[in-house]
Copies of this chain bind each other. A is one copy, B any other.
């Protein structure tokens, strides 16, 4: 049995490869993390290609997001920290950068509201298509600390159960209780974003 860090790192390497084959981490976009039992995080080193990760591209950071091994963690580490603080059960966060998510975030005029799709049942606590799942869209901001505050303020202020969010022109964030769980949410959200985008391409009769 591998130590916990190595185990999670191996799962994140595999997750990166899966996301790449789905076309969701072009160039060096995207980032991935897992939370360990001691509340430290395993997160991708800044600037690496997510489709060709090796274990040394995953590094440890503390619960506040400070690097613990001299490498520079993902520029968006504070967004991961915010999510882990807000959702005590979250054990993995994935941030893919798909064309569908990018376009939908640029075209949306407010939150995305998803309804009537059977696949909504992929999210915990959802047992019918007759529900509404809200996916907030935040303005992009290179000041990640400020962006994390905006995300936190929104999450603190809503009664919606959130399973992911979009950043304008910048892909989406989702999370789960394990790497497998978070990947399931990626597949479900990407499917839904694909559906929503394609509906926009249907010509008026």
Contact = CB atoms under 8 A, between A and B. Distances in A.
Interface of A: 26-29, 49, 97, 99, 102-103, 106-107, 116-119, 122, 127-130, 140, 142, 167-171, 180, 184-185, 187-188, 190-191, 194-195, 197-204
Contacts of A171: 118
Given A194-B99, A195-B99, A197-B198, A116 B184 contact: no
A9 B37 CA distance: 37
9 contacts: A26-B191, A27-B184, A27-B191, A49-B184, A97-B119, A103-B198, A107-B202, A116-B140, A118-B169
A103 B119 CA distance: 12
Contacts of A107: 199, 202
A169 to B, nearest CB: 5
Contacts of A170: 117-118, 129
A96 to B, nearest CB: 12
A195 B103 contact: yes
Contacts of A180: 49
Given A26-B188, A49-B180, A129-B140, 10 more contacts: A27-B119, A27-B122, A29-B122, A102-B118, A103-B199, A106-B195, A116-B140, A116-B168, A117-B170, A198-B201
Given A97-B119, A167-B118, A27 B187 contact: yes
Contacts of A184: 27-28, 49
Contacts of A194: 99
A180 B203 CA distance: 36
A39 to B, nearest CB: 28
A130 B191 CA distance: 29
A26 B171 CA distance: 19
A142 B120 CA distance: 13
Contacts of A167: 118
